[in-house]
């Protein structure tokens, strides 16, 4: 399998893992390891000053995994920029998964605010990985603005509905000058494989693994699916046709006619 | 200026004003003296932490951000702080004074996608 190159870093794994919704930090750590992931997303939230706080970072070995803070919760560009800067101060790295989602029900990203924030953050030296609706025009504007990837959604976050935006993602991949990471809505390993077969450079999965009955085994399933899809893409899939084409020879049958 | 001290002690108001003017220069040393003086006067320090007003009295009045986090029992290694919209580098927590009325945001990483 080819390596995945984002900005100036190379990765063997093409499966990015989110760290939300796990029943415990131990299960999360097990799932990340089982997935063979090298990039893990995290969110930034206020400390609860009246209760004890779990230390998420204690469960993530930062020598093995690149922490990718997101700007979840941001409703506009300014909030996202503020979160990105806080995340940089907290993590010591300048990578950020940019998300601006003003709509609390479908959590769909706001394209114009995302572009605005991306332009500022790129100028500020961030490696920006923007989460967007599968909009080929916006994807092009973002890559032209200097983002490190474009991350179109397959379907709404946490919906597990799979690749509902397939036709648009195909166009995004076709015109891409940066890696395309399909993010959000991939509910089954087959969805991840489908995205990778199409030529996506990577996938990001959280809910489908974290809320599975056995997250560690599901992480293994997604790892295999992502690798299988990528290998298929790199192998050059055979063409399709409407008529049947026999796989076995059409001569030497045991009959005389 | 006397109302800054919210005191009924009108007899000594001028002394307070004098002391405030001495200590009001925004440097760590003077702020520390100011906080110590607040302690002596048995006064309180009010800060807005993560959107909620919190009052510190007597010995609990923190001198700096490091003190504040200790008081709140928050591990400094995992937290990031913003005072009145400005991010404070973790390395300077113990050199960053906290002052009455400041809005302090304390954030940290949690699970997310």
- Give the start-end residues of each E strand in chain A: 4-6, 9-11, 15-18, 39-46, 66-69, 95-98, 127-132, 151-152, 181-183, 202-205
- Contact at CB, A57 and B109, closer than 8 angstroms: yes
d(CA B51, CA B36): 26
Q: Is residue B3 situated within a structural domain?
A: no
Whether residue A40 contacts residue A65, with contact meaning beta carbons closer than 8 Å, is answered with yes
Place of tokens 């002391």: B19
pLDDT single digits (tens) B68-111: 998 888 888 889 999 999 999 888 999 999 988 899 999 999 99
Cα end-to-end distance, chain B, whole Å? 50
Query: Tens-digit pLDDT profile for chain A (257 aa)?
Result: 899 999 999 999 999 999 999 999 999 999 999 999 999 999 999 998 887 777 888 889 889 999 999 999 999 999 999 999 999 998 888 999 999 999 888 899 999 999 999 999 999 999 999 999 999 999 999 999 999 999 999 999 999 999 999 999 999 999 999 999 999 999 999 999 999 999 999 999 999 999 999 999 999 999 999 999 999 999 999 888 899 999 999 999 999 87
Chain A residues inside the 8 Å CB shell of B90: 89
Residue B112 lies in a domain: no
Residue of chain A nearest B52, judged by CA positions: A49
Domain coverage including residue B36: 9-107
Checking DSSP bridges between strand B52-57 and strand B44-49, what pairing results, if any?
antiparallel
Domains and CATH numbers, chain A: 4-235 (3.20.20.70)
CATH code of residue B49:
3.10.20.30
- Distance, in Å, from the CA atom of A114 to the CA atom of A121, rounded to the nearest integer, reads 10
Helix (H, G, I), strand (E, B) or coil at B31: helix
Of A218, A252, A231, A256, the closest CA to residue A23 belongs to: A218
A97 is catalytic: yes
Does residue B24 have a pLDDT over 70? no
Tell me whether residue B99 is in a domain. yes
Q: Is residue B45 part of a domain?
A: yes
Query: Which residue out of A64, A97, A123, A161 is catalytically annotated?
Result: A97
- In this structure, is residue B34 part of a structural domain? yes
Residue B74 included in any domain:
yes
Does any domain span residue B103?
Answer: yes
The DSSP annotation for A104-118 comes to TTT----HHHHHHHH
Contact B108 A91 (CB under 8 A): no
Would the CB atoms of A49 and B87 count as touching at under 8 Å? Answer: no
Cα–Cα distance measured from residue A49 to residue B69, given in angstroms and rounded to the nearest whole number? 9
The tally of domains found in chain B comes to 1
Residue A203 bridge partners (DSSP): A15, A182
Q: Which residue of B has its CA nearest to A56?
A: B110
The answer to whether position B26 is within a domain reads yes
Per DSSP, the three-state class of B86 is strand
Structure confidence at residue A129 (pLDDT): 98
pLDDT beyond 50 at B2: no
Structure tokens at A209: 């693994």
Q: Do A222 and A193 meet the contact criterion of CB atoms below 8 Å apart?
A: no
Calculate the CA B66 to chain-centre distance.
11
Token readout for B100 is 């009455």
- In whole angstroms, how far apart are CA A188 and each of A172, A207, B89, B94? 22, 10, 41, 48
Q: For position B63, what pLDDT does the model report?
A: 87
Structure-model confidence comparison of residues B93 and B31, the more confident one:
B93
């Amino acid at each position: 399998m080819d390596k995945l190159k984002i900005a100036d870093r190379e990765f063997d794994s093409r499966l990015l893992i989110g760290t939300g919704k796990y029943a415990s930090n131990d299960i999360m750590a097990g799932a990340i390891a089982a997935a063979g992931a090298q990039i893990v997303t995290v969110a930034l939230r206020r400390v609860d000053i009246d209760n004890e706080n779990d230390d998420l970072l204690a469960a993530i070995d930062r020598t093995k995994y690149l922490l990718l803070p997101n700007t979840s919760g941001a409703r506009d560009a300014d909030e996202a920029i503020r979160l990105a800067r806080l995340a940089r101060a907290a993590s010591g790295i300048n990578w950020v998964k940019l998300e601006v989602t003003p709509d609390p029900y479908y959590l769909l990203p706001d394209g114009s605010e995302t572009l605005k924030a991306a332009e500022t953050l790129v100028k500020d030296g961030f490696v920006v990985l923007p989460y967007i609706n599968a909009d080929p025009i916006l994807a092009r504007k973002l890559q032209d603005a200097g983002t490190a990837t474009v991350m179109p959604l397959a379907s709404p976050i946490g919906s597990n509905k799979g690749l509902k935006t397939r036709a648009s993602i195909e166009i995004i991949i076709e015109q891409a000058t940066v890696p395309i990471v399909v993010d959000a809505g991939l509910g089954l390993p087959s969805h991840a494989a489908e995205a990778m077969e199409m030529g996506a450079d990577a996938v990001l999965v959280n809910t489908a693994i974290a809320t599975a009955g056995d997250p560690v085994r599901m992480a293994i399933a997604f790892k295999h699916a992502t690798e299988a899809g990528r290998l298929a893409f790199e192998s050059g899939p055979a063409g399709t046709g409407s008529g049947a084409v026999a796989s076995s020879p059409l001569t030497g049958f045991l009959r005389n006619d | 200026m006397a109302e800054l001290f919210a005191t009924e002690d009108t007899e000594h108001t001028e002394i307070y004003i004098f002391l405030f003017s001495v200590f009001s220069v925004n440097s760590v040393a003077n702020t520390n003296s100011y906080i110590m003086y607040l302690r002596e006067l048995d006064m309180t320090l009010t800060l807005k932490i993560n959107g909620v007003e919190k009052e510190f009295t007597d010995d609990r009045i923190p001198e700096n951000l490091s003190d504040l986090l200790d008081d709140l029992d928050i591990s400094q290694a995992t937290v990031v702080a913003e005072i009145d919209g400005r991010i404070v580098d973790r390395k300077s927590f113990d050199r960053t004074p906290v002052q009455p009325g400041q809005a302090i945001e304390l954030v940290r990483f949690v699970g997310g996608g």
